[in-house]
Chains A and B, each alone.
Chain A
């Protein structure tokens, strides 16, 4: 089923007067905090350049680093498994759990496990699975995907959470205090950590040199997940591997500053081997389309992503739509350039859900050319005829216009009179212009830029 992102976004915008403005404000705050952090570090831009280069180096030598990582991790007593597909990933984890009679598990946030749709797979096989990150737990209880890769429940208001917790964990429905709601979940989750047979985590980074992997959280839930049960399983995408330990210095400095505008996450946890005698550490090193993406000359750069979410926080379209609208594991600008690699029919409309303002490219800590890739995906969709017919037609016309200066100038003037004379009922017509429906058209300037430029350049 094709995701109708336009319709989903409209549903969020028209929900009420609270959700969309609050969502917009909270994310923009994160963006502003990110800017203050960036400005306070003189070497910020140099760090971005270096981080980008290290990622590109690691990805263009990935075979070497995967091999080195596996050798180093195995030497430390970690058991490394290999998953080619999401299905392999889920099956391997299930088999490890089964062989340990582990039926109750706690997990910390892992976008890879989301991508593989692991939770429903395990739950349908009798595994009781608890998300321990507060935002993920909120999403688990509401039966929704995370709407943001760092702030999974950012589209929900405190009132929504109060209502949800009252319904699911028995809090007082009138209690709408974030502090007390967090406390209620802390008390609800604590026994689950203590009873768990196994703990599952993801990884933000893995280091070839040592076989270690790194998990960043603010709650300390990954550490609880790993420190109590005797079995720890980590899902790691092959693109997470960095060559050396010292590379982490750059990435840890960039990650949370870009994500939330905080200096770092409260916990930066490193796992080198099994915790103690009798405890086990397993890694499920997963490909799931990554090696193939590496072979796509235009699109492999998306593998550099460190999942900070900065491109989402800054995106005017994302802030207005919410992540749920994208109907995919990854939403926002990064989602637009990753999701179609999994399914270019289902996600064919995502590349058109962007204003191409380029703000994502501006903030990306590893210099992914996100906006450019969105354009390339649009071209791809037009090529495979997966864009809406009207857009397909419009892009053909646009191609001709932009290709001919003369026609462009004529069209520009025509556009002025067209929009000026067209009544609102036509411009905002639901059928003819769905794009105009939830947007205000900017006021049209009488003078075209070209006219203005010719008049002013001599001055």
Chain B
């Protein structure tokens, strides 16, 4: 702890005399209508390379992914409603998810402004699922979409997880010749399905 005291001592010695007050930051909210928020989410996600589908049951989602990724051999799901062929509970080490072609996750909520979804170890089960999977399918209850980053941060409980990530579409880079390429180190694609959170069985 003496190192901390030394650091604090150095800071105190050099602190500017004038103190600036902490400002009030509004949430800049404008939209009340849920349908408008949902549409904004769809548009924002499209801008960053994600695709949304509005479906009523899981079988339809599965069909879309079969059509899209015919060759997906290893499917691993962290959700209750979609069963894959690699059981996440049996995975011993995060690196063992390296062979996953399609990872399935239920997002905790969405942000309309950005087309982002919030994932934590509670939704990922193993964090590497969200990044080692070649492709991702994400389920999102449209009722959980919040308007912007201000409202998003006000609703997160940072005690509920050790890790949390706003994921906005697939992995991307423009580091070679300033050309946009999707699928840099993480997932090559992100398909989002609007699907209500199932009510637990009685």
Contacts and interface: CB of A to CB of B under 8 A. Distances in A.
Contacts of B32: none
A227 B6 contact: no
A283 to B, nearest CB: 12
A263 B47 contact: yes
A147 B161 CA distance: 36
A77 to B, nearest CB: 8
A210 interface: yes
Interface stretch (A175-183, A361-369, A447-455): A175-183
Interface residues of A, number: 89
Nearest to A291: B10
Interface in B134-176: 148-154, 156, 158-159, 161-176
B110 interface: no
A152 B161 contact: no
Interface of A: 26, 29, 43, 50, 53-54, 56-57, 59-63, 66-67, 70, 76, 80-82, 84, 132-135, 138, 151-154, 157-158, 161, 178-179, 181-183, 186, 189-190, 193-194, 210, 212, 218-221, 223-224, 226-228, 238, 243, 245-250, 252-253, 260, 262-276, 285, 287, 291-295, 297, 300
B158 A270 contact: yes
Given A50-B25, A243-B22, A245-B156, A291 B11 contact: yes
A60 B14 CA distance: 10
Nearest to B124: A227
A268 to B, nearest CB: 4
B176 A134 contact: yes
Q: Which of A134, A189, A293 has the most chain B CB within a 10 Å cutoff?
A: A134
Interface of B: 3-4, 6-8, 10-16, 18-23, 25, 27-28, 44, 47-48, 94-95, 98, 113-116, 121, 126-128, 130-132, 148-154, 156, 158-159, 161-179, 181, 183-187
Contacts of A243: 22
B25 to A, nearest CB: 5
Contact of A178 (B21, B22, B179): B179
A161 B178 CA distance: 12
